Amino acid sequence: MTRKAERIRKELSPKFPEWTRNFRGFLELYYSDIYVPETDECERWESMKKIYASVLEAMICMSGVRDQWEGPEFLPLAVDAGLEVFYRADKLECPFFFGTDELGFFLSADLIYSKMIRKMDDRFWFQMAELTRFGEIDLWEHRAWPESRARQEPWFHRKSRSRIFHLIRSAVAWEKENGYVDELGMMIIRWKYDTPWEELLDKGSAAFHNLYRINEALWKKRR
C-alpha cells in the first residue's frame, strides 16, 4: 500500500463506526420486521448514498489510477439492499460502480471493446486472475448463449467453477459464431455485508486498479 493510500484510509477511519451504524440501519429496511417511517427511510437512503460515494472515491484515489472523473451518480437496484454509485472515467468513457445488492458489496465495470479481447497478452489475463486475491469474482453476461446452440455442443458448454474460464469460453464461442466478440459483459468483485471498511477499501482499491488496467488494455487496442 502506498503512503497516499494509507493516509486516505487513516483519514476515513474515524467515520467507520458511524458508517457501520448507518449501514445496519439501511439493511434493516430489507432484513428486519421493524417498522421504519418513510422520513427515516429516506434519511437512511441519503446516508448510504454519501457513504458509497465516499468509499468509491477513496478506492479510486487509493488505486493510483490517473484519469478525470464524472460523478457521483446513483442508481437504485430492483433487489434487496440494491443501491449503487458510479463514477465515469473520461479517458475510457467507462463507468465504474460500487454498491450493494442482495449478495453483499460489489465493485463492477463493463468490459469495454470486448472484440479486442483476442489481442490481449498474458499480463491482461494475469490481472484478471489476480482479481481473485481481492474478492469473489463474478461475471454478468449481457447476452445469453442460445440454448439450441448449447445443445448442439454440450461438451463445450459444460458448467465451470471458474468465471475466467467461462469468460474465455464465451469469447471463443461468440468469435466462432459471429466472427467477432461484442459486449462480453460486466466483471464484478464481491464481498460479504460484514466485510470491515478497512478491508473493503484495501481490497477494493486493489481490485479497482486491476479493473481499470484491464479496460485500459482493451481501450488501447480499439483502433
Which of 70, 63, 119, 64 lies closest to 93, judged by CA? 70
121: left (phi over 0), alpha (psi -120 to 50) or beta: beta
Dihedral sign of CA atoms 19, 24, 28, 34 in order? negative
Q: Of the candidates 53, 32, 161, which has an alpha carbon nearest to the alpha carbon of residue 99?
A: 53
Tell me: the pLDDT tens digits for 142-154? 666 666 666 666 6
Regarding predicted confidence, which is higher, 217 or 153? 217
CA distance 92 to 52: 22
CA nearest neighbour of 30 among 94, 97, 96, 78: 78
pTM of the model: 0.90
Q: How far apart are CA 51 and CA 90, in angstroms?
A: 23
User: Could you tell me the residue ranges of all domains in the chain?
Assistant: 3-220
User: Are 173 and 145 within 8 A, CB to CB?
Assistant: yes
In tens, the pLDDT along 151-175 reads 666 656 667 677 788 787 777 777 7
d(CA 114, CA 130): 19
Q: What does each C-alpha distance from 151 to 24, 44, 146, 174 come to in angstroms? A: 45, 48, 9, 16
> Looking at residue 189, what is its pLDDT?
98
pLDDT in tens, 75-116: 999 999 999 999 999 999 999 999 999 999 999 999 999 888
